[in-house]
Amino acid sequence: PDTVRLLSSSQVITSVVNVVKELIENSLDAGASSIDVKLENFGLDRVEVRDNGQGIKAVDTPVMAVRHFTSKICRHEDLEHLETYGFRGEALGSICAVAEVAVTTKTEEDEISTQYTLDLTGKIVSQKPSHLGQGTTVSVMKLFKNLPVRRQCFSSTKKCKEELKKVQDLLMAYAIIKPELRLMLVHNKILLEGFFPKPGADYSSTSTSNPDKTFIFVNNRPVQHKEIMKLLRQHYAAQYADDQARNRYPTLMLKISVPPSSVDVNLTPDKTQVLLHNKVTTKLNLNQIDPLQAYSERN
Ligand code: ADP
Ligand code: MG
């Protein structure tokens, strides 16, 4: 039965775009007005779709990913006035057969949201409380992990780019037909958190005329990274020119969070130097960081 399930699922779920489409349609069917799509490594490592829809009722969660379960039709006649994208109850179950799936959901009635981890057959294997608000988040990890040939086929740079373009086009299509919908796509998001005091702020007590008080972290690992240091210095020079002129140097801290797949920490034995994918470095836009409230350090 495992082989049969894998074969039929692999016909329903054929690509990253396909996964995104099924998940978005489920979100729309759930009445979502806001949908966030996040991809890591072109969706091959992770596709995550978060919505603010009605959520999945607790009674439905054990069967949500069971093949042919659908909450959308009860009787045969319902098919005649179908107003939902889905009605076959095939998508979620099929995705489970070809990837690792977690579903986090909260209805209006639920006090808090719950994250369910599903197995290959769509059964819940574990559950835990979660902090997310009303709606549903479906995470699909390691797509086609058990179909190595297909995964390989989607892994070439050319194919990856083609597929990403298809995802963008698909989202565009839904955005056009649903102008009231808030729809977001993020690919390999880099989270930047900086500790930059406001220029001109009272950080005089740290002005030890040492412009090198700079800390960089990649995924919480303190690192040295020439390029990023250079970016940071340039940013610093532009933002804090007046301070610099007065020989005042704040401590700068930059925390970068990236998908583990885009960083190589094994450059030096002590792991203080990391190699980031070229794209990550060029995407760093330090202007997106607001200088934090001034801190005053009392000696
Ligand atoms: P279908 O959409 O054909 O019903 P799916 O396999 O796509 O089948 O989804 C199975 C069921 O899981 C849906 O009928 C619905 O009850 C629930 N579900 C899936 N995704 C969501 C979502 N984003 N919000 C609310 N319910 C969902
Ligand atoms: Mg569906």
Helix (H) / strand (E) element for 216: namely: strand 214-218
Q: Which residues surround ligand 2, an ion (CB under 5 A)?
A: 26, 86, 91
68: tokens are 């042919």
The pLDDT of residue 216 is 85
Closest by CA to 225, choosing from 267, 169, 189, is 267
Contacts of 6 (CB under 8 A, 6+ apart): 97, 98, 146, 147
Q: Where in the chain is the domain with CATH 3.30.565.10?
A: 2-187
Average pLDDT, whole number, for the chain? 82
Q: Rounded to 5 degrees, what angle do the CA atoms 100, 86, 14 make?
A: 45
The pLDDT of residue 215 is 84
Residue whose CA is at the smallest distance from ligand 1 atom 14: 70
Residue whose CA is at the smallest distance from ligand 1 atom 17: 64
Q: Rounded to 5 degrees, what angle do the CA atoms 136, 174, 109 make?
A: 25
Over residues 49-60, the mean pLDDT reads: 96
Centre of ligand 1 from the C-alpha of residue 4, in Å: 22
Of all ligands present, the nearest one to the C-alpha of 70 is: 1
pLDDT in tens, 238-255: 777 887 777 777 777 788
Centre of ligand 2 from the C-alpha of residue 88, in Å: 7
Q: Where in the chain is the domain with CATH 3.30.230.10?
A: 191-288
pLDDT in tens, 259-298: 777 777 666 666 666 666 665 665 666 665 555 433 322 2
Q: Into which CATH architecture does domain 191-288 fall?
A: 2-Layer Sandwich (3.30)
How far apart (Å, rounded) are the C-alpha atoms in residues 270 and 267?
Answer: 9
Tell me which of 34, 60, 92 to substitute to probe ligand 1's pocket, judged by most ligand atoms within 8 Å of the beta carbon: 92
CA dihedral 236, 290, 190, 235 (to 10 degrees): -10
64: tokens are 């949500």
Residue whose CA is at the smallest distance from ligand 1 atom 13: 70
Give the rounded percent of residues in the chain with a pLDDT score beyond 90: 41
- Select from 3.40.50.2000, 1.10.3720.10, 3.40.50.1100, 3.30.565.10 the CATH code of 2-187: 3.30.565.10
Over residues 212-222, the mean pLDDT reads: 81
The pLDDT of residue 175 is 86
The pLDDT of residue 32 is 96
Residue whose CA is at the smallest distance from ligand 1 atom 21: 26
- Per-residue pLDDT band at 69 (split at 50, 70, 90): confident
Tell me which of 18, 23, 29, 73 to substitute to probe ligand 1's pocket, judged by most ligand atoms within 8 Å of the beta carbon: 29
Centre of ligand 2 from the C-alpha of residue 259, in Å: 28
